[in-house]
């Protein structure tokens, strides 16, 4: 499976975690291959990848948090981001 | 100021229970009594994190040979580094694995020499294979990333399908299939290890199909031998750009084998802070940037992608560390690479039989301070 359903509950895979950082502008997603510097949206998504939230909930929260009127766009971007991380084996569903 | 390196490669020891014929350690190994002690490594990890290094690769030799490995993992993690352990798994039982995971290990890279036990043991010069399979299963049941590393060469590329099947059976998240790179021990054994062109093409097809089939389940990274490439690899992501390596004695090197380059002075973390070394050490400045580059690199559009390729390969093949990497199709010394490929491809059937007799085995470091020369320790296994 490479495309997540809205019911899926993404979580960071073993050995993948957010860096400890005092500044939100300098948070990395650490993984075996190296690190990914996260922007604010990426960080919010990664923080919600705990296995407790469905993809639908994550999209909902982001849309509210960023006050985005275009829920479709939030959904597209979130799904695309998580699909890429899933293919890198950084996020499990 | 140079941007900080992303990774620190910590060669904790050169001691190793294996004797792989393609070992990436230098041919002159550091003895146990020269190894850095625990507090020095812990200080170095803190300095690395403070510089902006994100990841430490605990490597060797066999890092498990260090009795203080758990402490080092914990110290690196407390310093806020991402902790990788690169191991053959020999000497790792369930109790020690749990201790390492508890200490904060993020990722374990387990090397496997072959899927065929007899062949694997021939390459590594010891019986190790069965234990590794059990270990891989053990790691998978813990909260730590697992990569299976398989080194490939002419003798085992024919078993690539079985290797991928094994990785699937073990349900590892990542599989790295890396062709041998020809330095040090591997260069000494090149004629027996370099794959043929047909083998290579077949293997690329096999890997591509597996990558497609296993997308989202297993990530497969495939490293081809650069002898068959048109352009050189960006060795270490460029000299003094992304990585800093410390050998067991604390010498800071830009890459695994930089010690072979004559005239380079390596500074030691016993005497200098890591950040000072990164910025000022002559060895790191020697090939950093573009000043040192000869033609055709100097005016080549690819110089910002491959940084002139590998300095050690230039020395080993072209006889000059400042030369363009000889694997580059634009290098004046490319015919030397082509000659090696020609020999191997024109008559692959004439290769010597697959006995251990043809290999130069990597040795264990001398226990005395005297360095043993490889010719003195050539092990013939009958």
The model's pLDDT over B221-248, given as tens digits with 9 standing for 90+, comes to: 999 999 999 999 999 999 999 999 999 9
Residues of A in contact with B57 (CB under 8 A): none
Give me chain A's average pLDDT, please.
Answer: 88
Q: Is B143 on the interface with A (CB under 8 A)?
A: yes
Distance (Å) from the C-alpha of residue B105 to the closest C-alpha of chain A?
Answer: 8
Residues of B in contact with A32 (CB under 8 A): 84, 106-107, 109, 145, 147, 173-174
- What is the chain B residue with the closest CA to A93? B216
Q: Is B54 on the interface with A (CB under 8 A)?
A: yes
Do residues B120 and B128 touch, judged by C-beta distance below 8 A? yes
Per-residue pLDDT of B310-355, as tens digits, reads 999 999 999 999 999 999 999 999 999 999 999 989 876 555 444 4
The better pLDDT of the pair A63, B41 is held by B41
Distance (Å) from the C-alpha of residue B220 to the closest C-alpha of chain A?
Answer: 9
Per-residue pLDDT of B166-215, as tens digits, reads 899 888 999 999 999 888 778 888 888 999 999 999 999 999 999 999 99
Quote the percentage of chain B above a pLDDT of 70.
Answer: 87
Kindly determine whether residue A32 and residue B84, on different chains, have CB atoms separated by under 8 Å.
yes
Q: What is the largest CA-CA distance in chain A?
A: 36
CA-wise closest residue to B1 among B205, B352, B280, B370: B280
Beta strands in chain B (DSSP E): 7-11, 55-59, 82-87, 107-112, 145-152, 174-179, 219-223, 243-246, 252-253
Q: What is the largest CA-CA distance in chain B?
A: 56
What pLDDT is stored for residue B380 in this prediction?
27
Kindly determine whether residue A87 and residue B6, on different chains, have CB atoms separated by under 8 Å.
no
Distance (Å) from the C-alpha of residue B211 to the closest C-alpha of chain A?
Answer: 10
Q: What is the ipTM of this complex?
A: 0.90
- Name the β-bridge partners of B148: B110, B175
Kindly determine whether residue A15 and residue B145, on different chains, have CB atoms separated by under 8 Å.
yes
Kindly determine whether residue A87 and residue B144, on different chains, have CB atoms separated by under 8 Å.
no
Residues of A in contact with B82 (CB under 8 A): 17, 19, 30, 35
What pLDDT is stored for residue B372 in this prediction?
31
Residue B362 has pLDDT above 70, yes or no: no
Do residues B92 and B46 touch, judged by C-beta distance below 8 A? no
Tell me if the pTM is above 0.90.
no
Kindly determine whether residue B54 and residue A87, on different chains, have CB atoms separated by under 8 Å.
no
């Amino acid at each position: 499976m490479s495309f997540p359903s809205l019911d899926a509950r993404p979580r960071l895979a073993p050995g993948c975690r957010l860096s400890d950082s005092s500044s939100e502008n300098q948070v990395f997603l650490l993984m075996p291959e190296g690190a990914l510097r996260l922007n604010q949206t990426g960080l919010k998504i990664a923080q919600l990848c705990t296995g407790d939230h469905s993809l639908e909930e994550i999209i909902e929260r982001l849309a509210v948090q960023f006050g985005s009127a275009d829920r479709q766009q939030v959904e597209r971007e979130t799904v695309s981001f998580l699909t890429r991380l899933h293919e890198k084996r950084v996020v499990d569903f | 100021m140079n941007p900080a390196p992303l990774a620190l490669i910590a060669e904790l020891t050169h001691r190793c229970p294996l004797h792989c014929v393609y070992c990436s350690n230098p041919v002159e190994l550091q003895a146990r009594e020269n190894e850095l002690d625990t507090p020095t490594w812990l200080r170095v990890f803190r300095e690395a994190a403070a510089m902006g290094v994100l990841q430490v690769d605990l490597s060797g030799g066999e890092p498990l040979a260090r009795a203080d490995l758990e402490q080092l993992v914990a110290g690196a993690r407390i310093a806020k580094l991402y902790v990788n352990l690169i191991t053959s798994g020999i000497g790792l039982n369930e109790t020690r694995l749990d201790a390492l995971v508890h200490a904060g290990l993020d990722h374990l890279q387990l090397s496997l020499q072959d899927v065929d036990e007899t062949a694997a043991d021939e390459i590594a010069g010891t019986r190790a294979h069965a234990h590794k399979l059990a270990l891989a299963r053990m790691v998978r049941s813990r909260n730590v990333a697992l990569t299976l590393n398989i080194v490939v060469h002419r003798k085992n590329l024919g078993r690539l399908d079985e290797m991928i099947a094994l990785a699937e059976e073990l349900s590892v998240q990542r599989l790295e299939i890396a062709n041998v790179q020809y330095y040090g021990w591997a260069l000494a054994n090149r004629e027996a290890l370099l794959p043929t062109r047909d083998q290579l093409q077949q293997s690329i097809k096999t890997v591509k199909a597996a990558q497609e089939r296993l997308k989202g389940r297993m990530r497969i990274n495939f490293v081809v031998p650069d002898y068959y490439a048109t352009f050189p690899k960006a060795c270490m992501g460029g000299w003094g750009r992304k990585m800093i390596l410390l050998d067991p004695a604390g010498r800071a090197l830009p890459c695994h084998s930089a010690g072979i380059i004559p005239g380079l002075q390596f500074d030691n973390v016993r005497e200098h802070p890591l950040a000072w070394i990164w910025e000022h050490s002559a060895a790191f400045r020697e090939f950093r940037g573009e000043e040192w580059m000869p033609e055709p690199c100097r005016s080549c559009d690819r110089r910002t992608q491959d940084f002139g390729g590998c300095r050690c390969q230039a020395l080993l093949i072209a006889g000059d560390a400042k030369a363009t990497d000889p694997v580059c199709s634009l290098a004046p010394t490319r015919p030397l690479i082509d000659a090696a490929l020609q020999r191997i491809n024109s008559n692959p059937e004439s290769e010597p039989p697959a006995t251990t007799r043809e290999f130069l085995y990597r040795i264990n470091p001398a226990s005395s301070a005297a360095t043993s020369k490889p010719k003195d320790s050539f092990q013939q296994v009958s």
